[in-house]
Structure formats: structure tokens, C-alpha cells
Amino acid sequence: MQRRRLALTVVVGALVILPGCATRGSVREVAARVSQASKEVAELRRAQAASTRETAALVMELRTLSARFRDTEARVRESSDRITTLANRIAAAESSVRELATTVEAVPRALVAPPDERPDHSATISGEQAFATALKTFHSGELGQAVLELTDFVSRYPRHPLVARAQLWIGEAYFKQRDYRQALMEFRKGVDAAPDSSVAADGWLKIGQAYGMLRERPAANQAWRHVVREYPDTEAAGRARTLLRK
């Protein structure tokens, strides 16, 4: 009987102790898992922080690149405008040289022309002298005075063969002074004075250049296409083709 009581006590004690052991084991396991989860969370937070810093750095770099791109784009536009301006100036200079050469050639022809081709010899010579004087004034840089002298030449010798050229030189004087609207008007007068000659081709070329300086590219292209279409074999047409490709 006593032995049975002892055995029962041992069994009951074991039953009491075993659940306690099982509970402590579960708690340790849960604590281990919580600890592991905490470590993983901490690692994820560190990774998130690193990713945030990297993203911020990339955003800053993107903004910097975007600003550089806008700056580069502005410089490209500025360079393009400068190229167009230089091209127009070069074309104007080339045209001026051609006009001067034409003028120089015209003077000897007038001097040696037969009398019947020179109904008013003295008027022709006087007109050419006035024209040459006005050109000299132009090339000396006195543009305002050159306009006055050329305008006077046109008024005094309205039938002179150099009137159309004189009108283009008046336009060129305004062009050099950056009064492109007035230059357009004068160039058109030159074209109207000689609609079927190389002077007209040069005039239309200059009209296109004036529109180009005013940044009215469609009107400039239209003028240059007119030169190519109506005066295809002139030097002005060759220059117009070059300008149309830019």
C-alpha cells in the first residue's frame, strides 16, 4: 500500500514537471524565433535605409544630368543661331563682292560703248561717278551717308542701269545696321527695278537673308526657293541651295 502511494506520487510529480518543461521549451523556441525575426527586421531596415540613400543619390544625379542637358540644349540653340547669323553675313559679304565686281566691270563698258548706245554720255559718266562715290562711302563704314548718296543717285538717274544695284546697296546698308525690316523694303525695290536679271537673283537672296535674321525661316526659305526656281544658273541660286540645306 505504501509502495503504491509512492509510485502514484512519482507519477503525479512527473505529470506536473513534464508540462512545465514543455512550456519552458516552447517559450525558448518562441524567444529564439522572435530574436531571429528582430534581426531580420533590423537587416531589412538597414537595407531599406541603404536603398533610400541610393535612390536619393540617383535622384540628385538625374536632376544634375537634366540641368546639364537643358544647358547643353540651350547652348546648341545659341550655336545654331550664331551659325545662321554668320552664314547670312558671309552670304552678304560674298554678294557685296560680286556687286562690286559687277560695278567695276560696268564702268569700263559704259566708257567704251558706241555713241549710239550712250544717248546721254555725260549723264552716264556722272551717274557712274556718283555710284562709285557712294560705294566708297559705304565701304568706309559711313553707312548713313552712303544711304543718302545712293538714294540721291537713284533720284537723279532713275533710268541708269545701276539703279537696281544701288537699291540693293541701300538695303545692304540697313542690313548692316540690323534694321532688317527696312532692308527688306529696299531689297524688294531692287528686285522690282530689275526683275529679269542677276540683280533680281541677288535681291531675292538678300530678302531671304533678312527674313533669316528676323527668324522668319518659312519666308526665308520661300525667297531662296524663288531664287533657285527662277534664276537656277546664277551664283545666288547656288548660295540659296546651300542656305536651304541648313
90 near 246, Cβ under 8 Å?
A: no
Predicted local distance difference test score (pLDDT) of residue 101: 53
List the single range of 5-14, 35-44, 219-228 with lowest mean pLDDT: 5-14
The grid coordinates of residue 161 equal 542701269
What does the pLDDT look like over 118-171, one tens digit per residue? Answer: 444 455 568 899 999 999 999 999 999 999 999 999 999 999 999 999 999 999
Predicted local distance difference test score (pLDDT) of residue 233: 92
Q: Exposure of 203 by Cβ count < 10 A (0-12 exposed, 13-18 middle, 19+ buried)?
A: buried
Predicted local distance difference test score (pLDDT) of residue 169: 97
User: What percent of the chain has a predicted confidence (pLDDT) above 90?
Assistant: 46
234 DSSP 8-state letter: S
What pTM does this model have? 0.54
What does the pLDDT look like over 60-95, one tens digit per residue? Answer: 888 888 777 777 777 767 666 666 555 555 555 555
What's the sign of the alpha-carbon dihedral 171, 173, 175, 178? negative
The grid coordinates of residue 108 equal 569700263
* Separation of alpha carbons 5 and 166, rounded Å: 142
Residues in the chain: 246
Model confidence at 193: pLDDT above 50: yes
